[in-house]
Amino acid sequence: MKASAFVYPWDVNGDPAAGEFIAGLGVRQATLASAYHSTRALTPRHPRHRIITAEHAAVLYPPDEARWSGRRLRPYRAGEWAPGDAYAEAAEALAAAGLEVHTWVVLAHNSRLGAEFPDTSVVNAYGDRYAWAPCVAQPETRKYLLDLAVEAAVRPGARGTELESLGWYGLAHLHAHDKTGGVALGDAGQYLMSLCFCGTCREGYGAQGLDADELAAAVRDALEPVWRGAPDDGGRPAVEKLLGEGRAAGTRAWRDEIARTLQEAAVTAVRTAAPEGFQVLLHADPVTHHVGANAGVDPAHILSVADGVVVPCAGGPGLLTPFAEQGREGAVLAANFPVVSGMGGSPGTLGADAARAAELGATELRLYHAGLASDGDLVAVREGLSGLE
């Protein structure tokens, strides 16, 4: 089973041994970040540094000025954490080590964009703006995301791409010093708190026969018991019960259409710009109303659009099943396992986890994250992968 490790350019650049080290884990591919959100990352083996602070979302290569000149929304260049064409430098080193390099592109997740252009952000039913979450319904934002997807995905030498957060983003977000866990929102609460009420979405609800003001009031009323400690574990049926079937269906129709068309357009645009055989995968969750890095998708639809999906398997490989049930011949179903024990991963069970994922339809593995993991974690990864040969 083909395996790929996620990597940042700063894991590789300045470390002559990095490429061979990653290849030595037993992976055949490196999924290398070319556009990424703000983060603080450990680099436990790098000869020059131990902590990298990426201060804002940025592209990790020089953006094409001809593409972005005069536009209000455009990608930000990285600072000292990824100077110059950091992506290309790292990609060259990884390819020299015999690894197939694919781009890793984070799209609708950008705190700096929301801070500088608040009108681009998701607005919840209380009027709070989520600066980290661009509203993917807004035409200007969609144009920005589509062009970013093309530019960041189709880098020289890349054999494919993995598009993350290509869909709705919402409340659930590991924001800096995040302190939003005091109330257990549950699946329904997360959905209600992630509904957007910007001008574009208000018009969109209207097209579904919903009054946006009445809908926002209904969302606030539905959340009141949650704030007082009432359990919310009913998933989608709870949303229908709390909002009413008509309102719930209307919000879902609007949001599903926006996400589907954005995903279709992005995949088409990337394929048009890419060389023949370029692989396009989406980080995806098989529950359409879910939001975040693994955007909610309809499995049948997305496998008719993209070459496959990267599926989160931190809680087990069960989310693979709805994709595998489509029986889509040739589709890539990549099981994404966290292998950093300090971040909740289980590298020691990788072999068993991968075997179970294969039983459920996985065709490939993704390992998060080669640069962040300790030496001990990576010894376990190497052993786990060797057992699959």
Dump pLDDT digits (tens) for 342-368.
Answer: 999 999 999 999 999 999 999 999 999
CATH of the domain spanning 2-123+134-175+278-386: 3.20.20
pLDDT of the residue at 225: 86
Question: What are phi and psi for residue 311, nearest 5 degrees?
Answer: -110, 130
d(CA 310, CA 162): 8
What per-residue confidence (pLDDT) applies to 350? 97
What is d(CA 21, CA 15) in angstroms, rounded to the nearest whole number?
10
Could you report the per-residue pLDDT of 215-273, keeping only the tens digit for each?
Answer: 999 999 999 988 887 766 567 778 888 899 999 999 999 999 999 999 999 999 999 99
Flag whether pLDDT at 57 surpasses 80. Answer: yes
pLDDT at 178 over 80: no
pLDDT recorded at residue 372? 97
- For residue 263, the model assigns a pLDDT of 98
pLDDT score at 234: 64
Is pLDDT above 70 for 35?
A: yes
Classify residue 279 by burial, with Cβ atoms within 10 Å: 0-12, 13-18, 19+: middle
Round the average pLDDT of the chain to a whole number and report it: 95
184-198, 211-225, 284-298: least confident range = 184-198
pLDDT in tens, 146-177: 999 999 999 999 999 999 999 999 987 666 66
pLDDT at residue 242 in the model: 84
> pLDDT band for position 106 (50/70/90)?
very high
pLDDT of amino acid 180 = 60
Query: What percentage of the chain carries pLDDT values higher than 70?
Result: 96
Other C-beta atoms closer than 10 Å to the C-beta of 343 total: 14
Check pLDDT > 80 for residue 182.
no
Question: What are the sequence ranges of the domains in the chain?
Answer: 2-123+134-175+278-386
pTM score: 0.96
46 to 14, 15, 43, 182: CA distances (angstroms) = 8, 6, 6, 37
Q: Which pLDDT tens digit goes with each residue over 73-90?
A: 999 999 999 999 999 999
User: Once rounded to an integer, what is the mean pLDDT over residues 134-143?
Assistant: 98
pLDDT above 70 for 179:
no
SS (H, E, C) 11-52: HHCCCCCHHHHHHCCCCCEEEEEEEECCEEEECCCCCCCCEE
Nearest to 259 by CA among 123, 127, 125, 134: 134
Per-residue burial over 255-268, b if 16 or more Cβ lie within 10 Å, else e, is bbebbbebbebbbe
Given pLDDT bands bounded at 50, 70 and 90, which one contains residue 31? Answer: very high
Say if residue 101's pLDDT is above 80: yes
- Residue 233: predicted pLDDT: 59
